[in-house]
Amino acid sequence: MNASCEYGTHRVIKPKGVLPQAAEIIDNTMAMQANEMVIDVKTLNIDSASFHQIKTACESDGSKMEAMIQAIVARRGKMQNPVTGSGGMLIGTVKAIGEHFSNRDVKVGDTVATLVSLSLTPLRIDAIRHINLTNDQVDIDGEAIVFDSGIVAVLPKDMEAKLALAALDVAGAPAQVKRLAKPGDTVLIIGAAGKSGLLCAHQAKANIGSQGRVIGLVNEPWQVSLLDELNLVDEVLLIDATDAIAVHREVAKATENNLADLTINVVNVDNTEMASVLATKNGGTVYFFSMATSFTKAALGAEGVGKDVTMIIGNGYTKNHADITLDILRSNRALRTLFEKKYT
């Protein structure tokens, strides 16, 4: 048994010289190297932007979606949507661990979630058992490889596996909010009623204190009611986030022209970059967690309107992000109940 590159470059088929995430095709044979781990996969949690694109392209037809997902993995060796470039994550049971795999806290038989993207994870799908059109989860029979650099989390005993999977899929977002939101800040969350938006709203409220404000932006009336029921935001704006001028106008009105200190973008559709930029004050910060974000649109758009804002690309990994996110569900009973209804 050979030990290969800890970052998985030995699995790259095309083009040579890149890491697995950037590769067009990777080797998904399950012949384990000495510094790899094999997982029997139970469920894929496909990235929201990717799932939305697949669902739209297939007109919500489950059979067509199954065929498209199978085709992507068969061609690329991984679940990386060729349109969005994004992946997701998975849960399963550890089948085998190479003798030189670094994480010795994980044991064969553990139920784990991968905290690295499906866009770089060698994956083989033997069968798709079920596609849940409402929560982005796909039950499969198959196997996956985790590289030595890959991060996995043993699932907690105090919550159902699919609940933990749903939260861990977006764990980087609330963990970054914990780092970015300051006492007294006005925080705008674009896409506040989605999975990551709700977790971010909880964390923002915890950070900003009584002098701060959290404003949630959504595009459907039922989402307004949801945010009101959960009491996670101080004000809800019902606006199409692709209409940058309308967003700017309403956020300015809600903040007495001060705009947001911190804007969190967690939507799964294109063309919301400028709404985020215009809604943020000069000197403020925009955190783009959405995989639908275009760096070009954000950077050149901000330049074009003369906005001096710090823009952060959402890194799915933040130190202790799994613990931070799971602790939100442990501490917020109403939010956990909502997640349990939707994801378990």
Q: Is the pLDDT of residue 319 over 90?
A: no
Q: Quick one: pLDDT band at residue 315, thresholds 50, 70, 90?
A: confident
CATH of 172-338, one of 3.40.1160.10, 3.90.1150.60, 3.90.180.10, 3.40.50.1100: 3.90.180.10
Q: Quick one: pLDDT band at residue 3, thresholds 50, 70, 90?
A: low
| 3-state DSSP of the chain | CCCCCCCCHHHEEECCCCCCCCCCEECCCCCCCCCCEEEEEEEEEECHHHHHHHHHHCCCCHHHHHHHHHHHHHHHCCCCCCCCCCCEEEEEEEEEECCCCCCCCCCCCCEEEECCCHHHCCEEEEEEEEECCCCCEEEEEEEEEECCCCCEEECCCCCCHHHHHHHHCCCHHHHHHHHHCCCCCEEEEECCCCHHHHHHHHHHHHHHCCCCEEEEEECCHHHHHHHHHHCCCCEEEECCCCCHHHHHHHHHHHCCCCCEEEEEECCCCCCCHHHHHHCEEEEEEEEECCCCCCHHHHHHHHHHCCCCCEEEECCCCCCCHHHHHHHHHHHCHHHHHHHHHHHC
Q: Is the pLDDT of residue 159 over 90?
A: yes
Prediction pTM value: 0.85
Q: Quick one: pLDDT band at residue 314, thresholds 50, 70, 90?
A: confident
> Could you read off the pLDDT of 58-79 as tens digits, one per residue?
999 999 999 999 999 999 999 9
Specify the domain boundaries for CATH 3.90.180.10 within the chain.
172-338
Dihedral sign computed on CA atoms, order 149, 290, 162, 44: negative
